[in-house]
Copies of this chain bind each other. A is one copy, B any other.
């Protein structure tokens, strides 16, 4: 029986080449880099990995490349959601052949389904697949998996855990209360690194955190400090990392901020699949400068040569400056100034 999943799994971004296709060489280099920096596992075809923006064939190729490159050094949790249960089951079979340790399957999305339908969907898959299944709950994007539904699904042996991206620590507590007495082996992972330390304290086994694709060494350190009972240090790091997480998450449409930050670590991720408008390209460049400043505070990259504005202190002033820059940029575009 394989070891229980635990620790930090990176939902890795997929580098693209100049034509917008998967940049296989860079993806392999990125996988190596992540493993060398200490992540406990990889998680291709997650939300950070923009699984919905690839074709079925591309999704399969991504898992194949990641599994090959990992070559058993760390377990691979493969995102396997396809158009329907039948297609998803086929992907599961393939990913087992590729050597994935388990699959993660997001709850049905687009349509908002009732708990009964969510149950029927996962039941259909779990009773027809040869590979271990991790449920993926991300209520801001997909039909929620509520606690009673989780309880029913945990009766199926093939379902071994849940990855929860609600970010609600109380929900983690409720899930643990509902499942652990019957299934002490059931795995609880959090996808919300703004509260990784509180989640681990509450009983989670680890996280699938986009931030670990940018600062794998820090996410790993946060995990280790918590496990070693060095709570003050863990919380101090947690509080500092919130700024990085928030900036990546809220300053651009997800996951563009994470892509912008990851590039600063020395990888060519290329233009994303979601087109950017002209003003978004300007904003992205500005965001990347801010991200470089934040990362420099953690000593993982150098500060920009032009220096960094103080980020704390009088936010109001920053906002005025930002507004003024925006206006000037717009006026310039139109030839007014």
Contact = CB atoms under 8 A, between A and B. Distances in A.
Nearest to A336: B320
B194 A170 contact: yes
A33 interface: no
Interface string A160-202: 0000000111100110110001000000000010110110011
A155 to B, nearest CB: 10
A83 B110 contact: no
A123 interface: yes
A44 to B, nearest CB: 16
Contacts of A231: 201, 229, 231
B83 A53 contact: yes
Given A117-B274, A315-B151, A323-B330, A83 B111 contact: no
Nearest to A229: B231
A292 B112 CA distance: 26
Given A110-B109, A242-B170, A280 B142 contact: no
Nearest to A87: B55
B112 A140 contact: yes
A315 B117 CA distance: 18
Contacts of A52: 83, 109-111
Query: How many monomers of this chain does the complex have?
Result: 4
Contacts of A263: none
Interface residues of A, number: 79
A194 B172 CA distance: 10
Contact of A280 (B20, B116, B192, B201): B116
A254 B169 contact: no
Given A198-B195, A203-B239, A320-B327, A84 B273 contact: yes
A316 B83 CA distance: 30
A135 to B, nearest CB: 15
A54 interface: yes
A177 B110 contact: no
A119 interface: yes
A327 B84 CA distance: 32
A330 B110 CA distance: 31
13 contacts: A55-B56, A55-B87, A56-B56, A83-B273, A84-B274, A85-B274, A110-B142, A123-B275, A168-B168, A170-B195, A195-B198, A202-B238, A203-B235
A73 interface: no
